[in-house]
């Protein structure tokens, strides 16, 4: 499978941003860790990160041509980006929403995901393991 992993705003600051919540590992560390798993070894995985909503939407649209599944950690866009929600719904690619922290046990505004209903699953609070679980979910869709 060809899997696109999209990370939204501020995820480029992993390892520096609130390490008590998000951990010490960087996004590059997470990418390397996932690539080394047996589940990832037989699949083509592309990573994309942007702090800009429009760039994320453009990349979701491009995925229609080259992805069998999407894992997305939309960051703060989770809570209010109907545009990203509509992009996911429009491309008809199985998508898993992933969050490093448990958004349901954080601030009130983080409990709402406008993305969740257009995804085949939502994984939260497992740290980097959430990305692996998202990958397994997509693999099992085949």
Report the predicted TM-score, pTM, of the whole model to 2 decimal places.
0.95
> What is the Cα–Cα distance from 67 to 71, expressed in whole angstroms?
11
| pLDDT value at residue 18 | 83
Token pair for 31: 């990418």
> What is the Cα–Cα distance from 3 to 47, expressed in whole angstroms?
9
What is the residue-averaged pLDDT of the chain? 95
The range of the structural domain enclosing residue 35 comes to: 2-139
- The tens digit of pLDDT for each residue in 93-141 reads 999 999 999 998 888 888 899 999 999 999 999 999 999 999 999 999 8
43, 80, 99, 131: which one is catalytic?
A: 99
Q: Is 52 a catalytic residue?
A: no
Q: Report the CATH number that the domain containing residue 77 is assigned in CATH.
A: 3.40.50.9100
Q: Is 22 a catalytic residue?
A: yes
22, 43, 52, 82: which one is catalytic?
A: 22
> What is the Cα–Cα distance from 44 to 78, expressed in whole angstroms?
25
Please state the domain count of the chain: 1
> What is the Cα–Cα distance from 24 to 15, expressed in whole angstroms?
4
């Amino acid at each position: 499978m060809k899997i696109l992993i999209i990370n939204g705003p501020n995820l480029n600051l992993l390892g520096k941003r609130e390490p008590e919540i998000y951990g010490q590992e960087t996004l590059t560390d997470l990418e390397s860790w996932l690539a080394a798993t047996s589940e990832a070894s037989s699949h083509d995985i592309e990573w994309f990160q942007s702090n800009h909503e429009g760039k994320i939407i453009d990349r979701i649209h491009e995925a229609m041509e080259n992805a069998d599944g999407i894992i997305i950690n939309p960051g703060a866009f989770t809570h209010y980006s109907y545009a990203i929600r509509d992009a996911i719904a429009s491309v008809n690619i199985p998508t898993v929403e992933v969050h490093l922290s448990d958004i349901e046990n954080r601030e009130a505004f983080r409990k709402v995901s406008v993305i969740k209903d257009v995804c085949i699953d939502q994984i939260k609070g497992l740290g980097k393991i959430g990305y692996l679980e998202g990958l397994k979910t997509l693999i099992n869709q085949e």
